[in-house]
Structure 1
Amino acid sequence: MTDERETVEYDSPTGGWGSLRGMVQTALRERPSAGAFETLRRQNKAGGFMCTSCAWGKPKHPHAFEFCENGAKATLWELTRYRCTPEFFAKHSVTELRGWSDHDLEHEGRLTHPMRYDAATDHYLPCEWEEAFAAIGTELKAIDPKSAIFYASGRASLETSYLYALFARLYGHNNLPDSSNMCHETTSVALTELIGSSVGTCVLGDFEHCDAIFFFGQNTGTNSPRFLHPLQKAVERGCKVVTFNPIREKGLIEFISPQNPAQMITGKGTEISCQYLQVRAGGDIAAIMGLCKFVFAEDERRGGTLIDRAFIADHCVGYEEFRAKADATTWDRIEQESGLSRADIEEAGRVYVAAERVIGVYGMGLTQHVHGFENIAMLINLLLMGGHIGREGAGICPVRGHSNVQGQRTVGISEKPELVPLDKLAEQFGFEPPRDTGTTTVDVCEGILDNTVQAFIGLGGNFLRAVPDQGRIEPAWERMRLTVQIATKLNRNHLFNGKTAYLLPCLGRSEEDMQAGGPQTVTIEDSFSHIHGSLGHRTPASEHLKSELAIVAGMAMATLPPNPKVHWKKWTGDYSLVRDLIAETYHEQFHDMNARMFEPGGFYRGNSARERVWKTKTGKAQFTAPEMLAATNVADADGRYRLVTVRSNDQFNTTIYGYSDRLRGIEGTRDVVLMNPQDIKRAGLSAGQRVTLVGDAGDDHVRRIGGLEIIPFDLPDGTIVGYYPELNPLIALHHHDQASKTPASKAVPVRIEA
């Protein structure tokens, strides 16, 4: 361990030989099945298999190897030779398994049989599919539909997602939270209100034409590494990249393309960011206000030639109010709240004013704050000033995490009835859909605590491990009447069960999905609103597995009364019939879906804001004047820190592939808290010391996590960093974005106990 005068870091570029070693290490651990490397060759290509990891776009002209380190890990993890069989569950009680790590639970391998939890023995027991469906249907019919939750992770296909949402509404509720509620729901709420589109306006080709890219709170090197290729090309043709992030992440500093022989041989990569500003956690509103304030001043100095006044006059409202707010905001306050100097912000502003086309990129570093809405609104302000929305090479670009999380919302998985064409569904299927607002992730947790939630069906994911306040929610979970988990591998959520509980194993996306009509194709949507077909070729991990769509249909048939317009068995036998339904419900976006799904680069479902059609309340794009400069609602105080939770390089969401966070120089452990050397010294602590983090949310609940090793790291004063999901128990359930209820996993108020 280094001493207090040094900080831990990774001394090589992103990508390169380190990335290849990471893939090889995962392959050696997982011993993937025959054909895994052929699957990688087809990954993210037209007619092939779409990665289950991130949602980055799939190019029309792919590389020879169109996968990244984490995408390869996800595929090898799915195609492991290890199996989690009934014999495993006979050896280990559920209580015992709660003591296992997240990594060890999933490393046990693919689930092979449907299982029923037996409370008397505290073991999972094998069961038949029809038994499981019948029991689930019996329980769902015995309760108020509005006390049931149908949760979806971001992996399920468009076809499965459409039928899952239909099942929920035929049953009688809109309780359809998904993993977007955990991370990017702030995007959906903010962009819908401000520009009339719930998703970003960019397409992949925009990165070939932009002059400047401003990054906020997005770690490309770990969370969407294929993004590094278009970034590298953009920089090499002269585009400037300016990054705002509390942590200096390697992916936005330097990149070696593993597909570039010259770079691999020389070890010299491409420098990505021309400027990297370590804004304090929660300081982005202030930082962007500083950029805007500089642009206003520079525009005046140049005689009004920088701000696109014609665009603003034709397309925007609220400009004058925002301008007045910027004028009234002092540089002293901007520097104090952002943790950045005026000189550095103005240097970044010069990149903005010199650019003809600007893209604003962001991730959960903006969305997962108490004032995440205002974070995004400020970035929209910055882009609107220059007319940088609705033209080639410019726009707003939220980078989604899970593979199809955006697509699920597109085809009806939403708790907001106003976002779903309910009248059309009523016409198609001959029923009256529920019209009341359903539950968000936070609402679900509150319902579990007050015992109003009686059933939880999880279509993938690891909900209980991903949510805040786990110390309170885990004990309450077992009061539910029914829990059902659909999964490929064992995780912690499966170890907390309702009175009736089933663990149902499903096919992986890389595996052949053989139904009555032959091998089936599924579709997914990427971050750029392009739809791609995905065809699995590998032999399933077990003959007892069912597809996610078949499981949803099986539960629906066991629960719902017959309906002459609803044909679960036909749809299960031929997924093209489901795509016809999607095209009928969402005709403008999905017409001719079956014919278009294998178009190279995917088919584009369109985006109104990209066409400068603003589907907002005013019919125009909205400037906003923020009432605050800090995205947190907890004031600074002596001994209080702002905790940022992050993923490691060896992780995707709650899946822990291993214990190497190579890109931060941390190996062999996840029980750490990263802290700058000055803060360590001021607190009277030392590098390598074990400490306890204590939640400081200002309520009566105790939230503590001990045994964390202090690692000196390059961070702003008062900002500390630790891993998700291990530190989730420190986040209070009420600590969420005020507009979207997205849990605020950034700038979490904590204290440190030696």
Structure 2
Amino acid sequence: MTARPKSKPKIGFDSGPAGGWGSARSVTEIVLREQVPVSGSALLAKQNKPAGYMCVSCAWAKPAKPHPLEFCENGAKATAWEITGRRVDEAFFASHTLGELEGWRDHDLEEQGRLIHPMRWDEASDKYIPVSWESAFTEIGRELKHFDPKNVEFYTSGRASLETSYMYQLFARIYGSNNLPDSSNMCHESSSVGLPQSIGATVGTAVLSDFQNCDCIFYIAQNVGTSSPRLLHDLQDAVDRGVKIVTFNLLREPGLERFTNPQAPTEMLTLKETPISSEYYQLRNGGDVAALMGVSKALIEADDALHASSLSKVTGFDAAPKDPANAAAVAFAASMAAADKKHVLDHDFIAEHTAGFEEFAAAARNYSWDELERVSGLTSGQMIEAARTYAASDAVLICYGMGLTQQIMGVENVEMIANLALLRGNIGKPGANICAVRGHSNVQGQRTVGITEKPELVPLDKLSELYHFEAPRWEGHTTVDTCKAILKGETKAFISLGGNFLRAVPETAAMEEAWREIPLTVQIATKLNRSHVIHGKIAYLLPCLGRLEVDHQASGPQEVSIESSVAQFHGSRGRAKPASPHLLSEPAIVAGMAKATLTTGTVPWDSWVANYAEIRNAIERTYPETFRDFNKRFMQPGGFHRPVPARERKWVTPNKKANFITPPRLFPIFEDAPTGSNVLNLSTLRSNDQFNTTVYGYNDRFRGVNGTRQVVFVNKHDIISMGFAPGDIVDLTTAIDPQTERKVRGFRLVAYDIPKGCCAAYYPETNPLFPLAHHDPQAKTPSYKLLPIRLTRSQTEPIH
């Protein structure tokens, strides 16, 4: 077992810029640690290249003209982590019971290396023992035949290719289940619900070229340095040509402040830093609707002023206003008039393309600046300043991430993004679009080919026609619904295509206990994690090839396809030697289970496994408009774009318009949250030594933390007012739903630049605090970025 850090954690060192020598050192360290110094370096040269493989980390696109080294620090970590020289073999499982492995931490489980042989849990020894692929498929199929398909869950993480995902959803539907929860339910489902209501698209409208054509970028609630570092190249290029980047974020993050390009020798030698954000506004978590409403209010009222005969005649504006906010608004309008602007809003666009503007504008005018300031944590001057920058720009690209979507008002946050874009026609023209920055490398693409619990989003008639079966029409389970079913004891089988479900979901303690009662759990994976060592009554661990590895089938080496954050389809060709000859590919594993289970349908499973081009042909037959000439185009440099009608200003909504949607409230009201001291609003976050639930190490260079993850970041004034001091050890307790105590212990207080009343800590360590019911009511996305918690002095020794 990997030893846990023994030295005392170091807190508060200078992080330096994103990129730079810190990034170079981090890449070198992990390549050496994972015992792949030569093969890893050679493989990285092919990462995100047209004829190479698509990174298994973030979902940023492969450019048609890549950099010499088209990878980032986190991408290099993900590659080294997957092609590690370590192996979890039969001897490892013979030496450790699963009861023992339950006591290991997430990092230590994955650090053991690659899984190389199919295993079955043996109750007598409490160990995984080897099993043949044929026996595994036969027993899995036999068990599945006994269950009602409505009680079987087919979960998918965000890495599986389009080919595998299409096969997997087809397997589930022919079996009779629409229970296809996936990691998108836990991250950007708010986008999948909010954007269709606003603009008739399930994804963002941006393309890569928008970063070259915009003259302003609004960057909201996404930490580029940790979550999608390759995007920093696009931001740096934009800054270099004079683009202003206006950032709204809870924390001050180095990636949004300054960047040294580690691939630019001159920058590395001279330590040159590019300032990223020209304006940086730290708003409270939960204050996004209020902040964006404040920007909208400033735009609308300045437009009102320009349309009045004179500023003094506009309601609410006085020639010598006493309210500083009114004075700032008047100055804003006056500056537009001085620039010979006739209006602030794009009235022609609003009249031709939108509905609901008057209601939204009236709501914006009616909010007082006092209320907007109280909820957002920003001053009226800051919101008006952001509005002035927005109004002075002709093409604004709006980027946002999970800081917006993972809240109980995630859908309302997304709709406010659309409202802001619509005010000045910043959608559907070069440089002006909405960019929803996704996490996992194909989480968006899986939905495109049918991984969804919503039957209305899938061409079920077409699938039934192609494969001769009657597709189920009932609505399946989201991730939250799946958790509810498991807690109620209704789930009979859980099949997982990748991921670490138990560490990703809320209600950790209750979920782990209920998980043990599931009759059958099947995990398709490359590495060991907690969802494998806690298991059902019958449990299989099926190791698969990774995307980076050569996938040789009957017709030769195979390629797979991926969809990026900007709705581009890219090809990926594995280059690494497989970790073991015993591994099967994901398509082969799905086909093996399907053939052992299904008694209906006419799917050529064996032909598809022999040649993935046949799967792509099947995808094209199912989705002809989206995947036209799929096999001809997917490996071309830059891939090809998915059709998104809103990108062409075609609105696939019931009224054929883009809709301003007025939020019913500014912020969530926690009616059962206690008042008084020591209650803060928690936001979870990832360290820069982590990707989602995968923890590469115990350092967070960006936030000055070394040797631990058991920390909570709090404003220094809040620490003092609560009677603590930086470095004190505290417990965190959920401050809503008092019927159930949810607590994590032994966290070190770190004084940090974060708004008062807020705090932040890493996930998945703090996931046990989140009630399952604490989610957006429309999207059911867990509110991981907003939860009231109480801090109390701890009696627990901190875990480094």
**TM-score with structure 2 length normalisation?**
0.92
The 5-angstrom pairing of residues 302-317 of structure 1 reads 302-303=306-307, 305-317=343-355
CA distance in 2, matches of 1:12, 1:33: 26
476 and 171 in structure 1: CA distance in 2 versus 1, 3 angstrom threshold: same
- Is 1:370 the counterpart of 2:408? The answer is yes
Determine the structure 2 residue equivalent to 1:190: 194
Whether the 8 Å contact between 1:284 and 1:631 is mirrored in structure 2 is no
Determine the structure 1 residue equivalent to 2:716: 677
Q: 1:59 offset after TM fit, Å?
A: 0.8
713 and 475 in structure 1: CA distance in 2 versus 1, 3 angstrom threshold: same
Gaps of 5+ in 2: 1-9, 308-341, 794-800
Determine the structure 2 residue equivalent to 1:689: 728
The 5-angstrom pairing of residues 557-706 of structure 1 reads 557-561=595-599, 563=601, 565-631=602-668, 633=670, 637-638=675-676, 639-706=678-745
CA distance in 1, matches of 2:37, 2:463: 42
Whether the 8 Å contact between 1:290 and 1:346 is mirrored in structure 2 is yes
| Secondary structure of 1:42 counterpart | coil
1:72 alignment partner AA: A
Which of 493, 499, 503 lines up with 1:461 in the alignment? 499
741 and 324 in structure 1: CA distance in 2 versus 1, 3 angstrom threshold: same
Q: 1:359 offset after TM fit, Å?
A: 1.2
Whether the 8 Å contact between 1:159 and 1:579 is mirrored in structure 2 is yes
Whether the 8 Å contact between 2:206 and 2:435 is mirrored in structure 1 is yes
Whether the 8 Å contact between 1:460 and 1:487 is mirrored in structure 2 is yes
CA distance in 2, matches of 1:292, 1:752: 36
Deviations 1:129-159 (A, max 9, x none): 0110011001100010110000000000000
Determine the structure 2 residue equivalent to 1:751: 790
Whether the 8 Å contact between 2:674 and 2:736 is mirrored in structure 1 is no
Which of 503, 512, 521 lines up with 2:559 in the alignment? 521
CA distance in 2, matches of 1:380, 1:535: 36
Whether the 8 Å contact between 1:369 and 1:631 is mirrored in structure 2 is no
| Secondary structure of 2:209 counterpart | helix
CA distance in 2, matches of 1:418, 1:699: 38
CA distance in 2, matches of 1:471, 1:294: 46
CA distance in 2, matches of 1:647, 1:475: 26
| Secondary structure of 1:289 counterpart | helix
2:369 alignment partner AA: W
Q: 1:637 offset after TM fit, Å?
A: 2.5
Q: 1:636 offset after TM fit, Å?
A: 7.4
Deviations 1:671-692 (A, max 9, x none): 0111111000000011111110
Which of 121, 124, 128 lines up with 2:128 in the alignment? 124
CA distance in 2, matches of 1:587, 1:678: 58
1:81 alignment partner AA: G
Whether the 8 Å contact between 2:186 and 2:781 is mirrored in structure 1 is yes
Which of 34, 37, 43 lines up with 1:39 in the alignment? 43
Q: 1:36 offset after TM fit, Å?
A: 2.3
- Is 1:737 the counterpart of 2:776? The answer is yes
CA distance in 1, matches of 2:32, 2:559: 30
1:139 alignment partner AA: E
Q: 1:428 offset after TM fit, Å?
A: 0.7
Determine the structure 1 residue equivalent to 2:453: 415
Whether the 8 Å contact between 2:301 and 2:365 is mirrored in structure 1 is no
34 and 11 in structure 1: CA distance in 2 versus 1, 3 angstrom threshold: closer
Deviations 1:218-276 (A, max 9, x none): 00000000000010010111111111111001101000111222211111211010111
Q: 1:378 offset after TM fit, Å?
A: 1.0
2:644 alignment partner AA: N
Whether the 8 Å contact between 2:683 and 2:761 is mirrored in structure 1 is yes
Whether the 8 Å contact between 1:412 and 1:420 is mirrored in structure 2 is yes
Determine the structure 2 residue equivalent to 1:475: 513
CA distance in 1, matches of 2:520, 2:38: 38
- Is 1:149 the counterpart of 2:186? The answer is no
CA distance in 1, matches of 2:295, 2:101: 51
| Secondary structure of 1:692 counterpart | strand
Determine the structure 1 residue equivalent to 2:591: 553
Which of 536, 543, 554 lines up with 2:574 in the alignment? 536
- Is 1:180 the counterpart of 2:218? The answer is no
Instruction: Give aligned-pair identity as a percent.
Output: 54
The 5-angstrom pairing of residues 108-507 of structure 1 reads 108-303=112-307, 305-507=343-545
35 and 28 in structure 1: CA distance in 2 versus 1, 3 angstrom threshold: closer
Q: 1:330 offset after TM fit, Å?
A: 0.5
| Secondary structure of 1:259 counterpart | coil
Determine the structure 1 residue equivalent to 2:315: none
Q: 1:194 offset after TM fit, Å?
A: 1.1
Whether the 8 Å contact between 2:174 and 2:600 is mirrored in structure 1 is no
Q: 1:8 offset after TM fit, Å?
A: 3.2
Q: 1:407 offset after TM fit, Å?
A: 0.3
Which of 759, 769, 773 lines up with 1:720 in the alignment? 759
**TM-score with structure 1 length normalisation?**
0.98
Whether the 8 Å contact between 1:522 and 1:533 is mirrored in structure 2 is yes
| Alignment: residue pair count | 748
Q: Is 257-266 or 700-709 further displaced after alignment?
A: 257-266
CA distance in 2, matches of 1:373, 1:692: 31
CA distance in 2, matches of 1:199, 1:407: 10
Q: 1:35 offset after TM fit, Å?
A: 2.6
1:601 alignment partner AA: G
Whether the 8 Å contact between 1:283 and 1:631 is mirrored in structure 2 is no
1:60 alignment partner AA: A
CA distance in 2, matches of 1:301, 1:406: 42
CA distance in 2, matches of 1:605, 1:274: 32
Deviations 1:272-313 (A, max 9, x none): 101111101100100001100110122223335111111111
1:196 alignment partner AA: G
2:762 alignment partner AA: Y
Q: 1:9 offset after TM fit, Å?
A: 5.9
Which of 23, 26, 30 lines up with 1:26 in the alignment? 30
631 and 245 in structure 1: CA distance in 2 versus 1, 3 angstrom threshold: farther
Deviations 1:165-204 (A, max 9, x none): 0000000011001110111111111111111110000000
Whether the 8 Å contact between 1:54 and 1:71 is mirrored in structure 2 is yes
Largest Rg, 1 or 2: 2
Q: Is 161-170 or 34-43 further displaced after alignment?
A: 34-43
Q: 1:562 offset after TM fit, Å?
A: 5.2
650 and 497 in structure 1: CA distance in 2 versus 1, 3 angstrom threshold: same
Q: 1:34 offset after TM fit, Å?
A: 5.1
Determine the structure 2 residue equivalent to 1:3: none
